[in-house]
Amino acid sequence: SNFAELAEEGALEIVIIKTTGDKVLNQPLADIGGKGLFTKEIDEALLDGRIDIAVHSMKDVPTYLPEGTMLPCNLPREDVRDVFISPVAKDLSELPEGAVVGSASLRRQAQLLAKYPHLKVVNFRGNVQTRLRKLQEGECSATLLALAGLKRLDMTQHITKVMEIEDMLPAVAQGAIGIACRTDDEPSAKYLAGLNHEDTRVAIVTERAFLTALDGSCRTPIAGYAYRGDDNQLHFTGLVASTDGKKIYQTSRTGSFDAATGEKLGREAGEELKAQAGPEFFVW
């Protein structure tokens, strides 16, 4: 409604780009090369001028943007929580010893095993439909997925239970969509500025500063969540963990709700946990 010219016939063209992360489904993400797997081909199209704006799931965006691109816009954030899906149990606590939980996420694996060390976690990749089919076929007793993805796919009927944040801290930037453009493309930057949701952007800046300070790799379980509290302050909680869940380091910060404060709080929290855990803790 702000930009009438974009409503005209043919003003917008959607280009669907398949990335490495979309195509290689038989290996853990960390083994293929971690971050950038869901963004590289899209970034190349942006820099080549084949597309003018790039829509990303912020969870997949590396902490360093490619030179010549910027990310000035975050859309309103979806629910950040994870969900438990199981045909045999109502909750993780109901799963018997040795029950197999399918998850491709080391973050979920670590937090799950910290609370339920008697469970077994196996690598579980593929799109949501594939994972749900594997679950029905009995490959495992349960899986954990992001609520945001299920809501966007209109597949929330499969949810057994929504997990609370204190039980499963989300991935950095979970549930957030970001839109990038070229740094020299003023018209696109103007459109994106009009779409930006500042509360989401501040939260994402905070969480990504935490990840950057940790030099976050896909092989170290990291979780972080920032939000505007009822007191209008910025609240942040972050953790790093060993993949077996036996060691978890966690910290929290509170400050004024703005991007500069968020960047500082996130960075400080990351530096604190990096120092606590020690260099040998992080797996590259």
Put the strands of the sheet holding 142-146 in their side by side order: 120-122, 100-102, 142-146, 82-85, 161-162
Q: Which of 43, 60, 82, 185 is catalytic?
A: 60
Q: Give CA angle at 20 (61, 212), nearest 5°.
A: 25
**Helix/strand/coil for 61:** coil
Calpha distance 37→60 (Å, rounded): 8
Q: Give CA angle at 244 (243, 247), nearest 5°.
A: 85
The DSSP output letter for 41 is H
The DSSP output letter for 178 is E
91 catalytic? Reply is no
Instruction: Show which residues are catalytic.
Output: 60
